[in-house]
A and B are shown apart, each in its own frame.
Chain A
Amino acid sequence: MKTNDMRARRHASWWAFLVHRVSGLLLTLFLPIHFWTLGLALESEVALDQALRWYQHPVFLFGEWALVLLLAVHALGGIRLLLIEFRPWQGLRREWIAVGGLVALATSLLFLNAS
């Protein structure tokens, strides 16, 4: 690995990139499970209900909270990228990363509070 790479990786933008990519990958992996679960409604309402009951186990509740956090982080990180790419240049805008992270965390906690 080039030394230049390591210096770049101390920047908040690199972490924003990493979080965006990893959250995107995890969300992509989750979607087939999500769709399969909802597809149980083809069988019967009872089949879907059984799966949803199963997901109420604490392990899955943690997973659901994590998924909402991942979705919110990915959406806000994506909006940041769109603004950087399509709006006029305005400097480094590092604070957007922190704001995005905080809003995503708050959103996931709102979901946790409701569940």
Chain B
Amino acid sequence: MNQSAVKAARRWYWQRITAMGMALFVVIHIAVMVYAMNGGLSASEILGRTQGSFLWALFYGVFVVLVSVHASIGLRNTLVEWLRMSGKAAGVLGNLIALLLLVLGLRAVWAVTFGSL
């Protein structure tokens, strides 16, 4: 099998693996949102839950890594299929989005865990 087909299969595989993981994360995320929304959101409510919490930091940290991989593969596929972009160009843009989501996401996790302590 040629190298690009192997890479395409690997992207397919990783998108599914991250999806399987995130199915559980999304259910918990939505449940927390519905619970937390009761009476509106405030910073003290959010930070009261997350500040100094190793478990929430781990939960959201892993969630960020999964979504960065998942979304970048999806975006790459969309760019190739809908904008007729070359695999190489779409791959570069996909990697940039993955990096952006990873950096901003982990920064956010850091912020709600250790920020303004």
Contact = CB atoms under 8 A, between A and B. Distances in A.
Interface of A: 21, 24-25, 27-28, 31-32, 34-46, 48-49, 52, 55-56, 68, 71-72, 75, 78-79, 81-82, 85-86, 107, 110-111, 114-115
Interface stretch (B2-10, B37-45, B84-92): B37-45
B38 A49 contact: no
A48 B47 contact: yes
A101 to B, nearest CB: 16
Interface residues of B, number: 39
B104 A52 contact: no
B105 A110 contact: no
Secondary structure type dominating chain A contacts? helix
Interface string B21-51: 0110011011001110110111110110000
Nearest to B68: A31
A55 B34 CA distance: 16
Contacts of B100: 32
